[in-house]
Every structure is written in structure tokens, then in C-alpha cells.
Amino acid sequence: MARLVELISLVYLLWFCLDGVTRMLAARRGAAPPSGQGGPRSSGPPPATETLVPCAGCGVYVPSSRTLGGSGGEVFCSETCRSRGSHAAAKN
């Protein structure tokens, strides 16, 4: 009986190690894990990289496609920052 428990434990340990190695290799290649195993899956090509630009109002970096333009060529992260920027420019 003790031999059977040792054998089952050994098989489980080997399966656990091989599963970890398989997942690690799949992650290195950027491939999805073998079917039946969890993990994130990509549904297409990776997103294109985008330039981050600082907001002229608060300094937060925002993707360039999501910025709002100002009157002096500045870029803002939101309408709130843009209105603050225009009020500050009017005071000066």
C-alpha cells in the first residue's frame, strides 16, 4: 500500500513539473497554453504602440490619440484641464 501511495505521489510530481515547464515555454514563445489549460489568450495581433504626451494642464501622460488640442498648440487630457489652461492663459 505504501508503494502505491509513493507511485501516485511520484506521478503527480512529474505531471506538475512537466505542466510548469510547458507553460513556461509557451509563455516564452508568446503562444497560448495548450488547449484545456487556462491563461490569457490573444484574439489578434498585438496593439500598435502609441506615443504618450504630457497634459499641459496637469502633467499626466496620455496616449496621443486621446488628447484634446488647445489654442496655443498645447495638448490636454480632458476638457477640464483644457478649460483651466484657457483660464490661466486669459489671466496672464
Q: Is 20:39 a contact under the CB 8 Å cutoff?
A: no
For the purposes of burial, counting CB atoms within 10 Å of the CB of 55, is it exposed (0-12), middle (13-18) or buried (19 or more)? buried
**Rounded distance between C-alpha atoms, residue 2 and residue 44, angstroms:** 50
**Which pTM value belongs to this model?**
0.44
Residue type for position 9: S
Task: Report pLDDT for 59.
Answer: 92
Looking up cell 487630457 gives 77
- In tens, the pLDDT along 50-66 reads 899 999 989 999 998 89
Q: Which residue has the higher pLDDT, 76 or 36?
A: 76
Task: Report pLDDT for 76.
Answer: 92
Question: Which band of pLDDT confidence, cut at 50, 70 and 90, is reported for residue 41?
Answer: low
Q: Is 57:82 a contact under the CB 8 Å cutoff?
A: yes
Looking up cell 480632458 gives 78
Task: Report pLDDT for 54.
Answer: 94
Task: Report pLDDT for 21.
Answer: 83
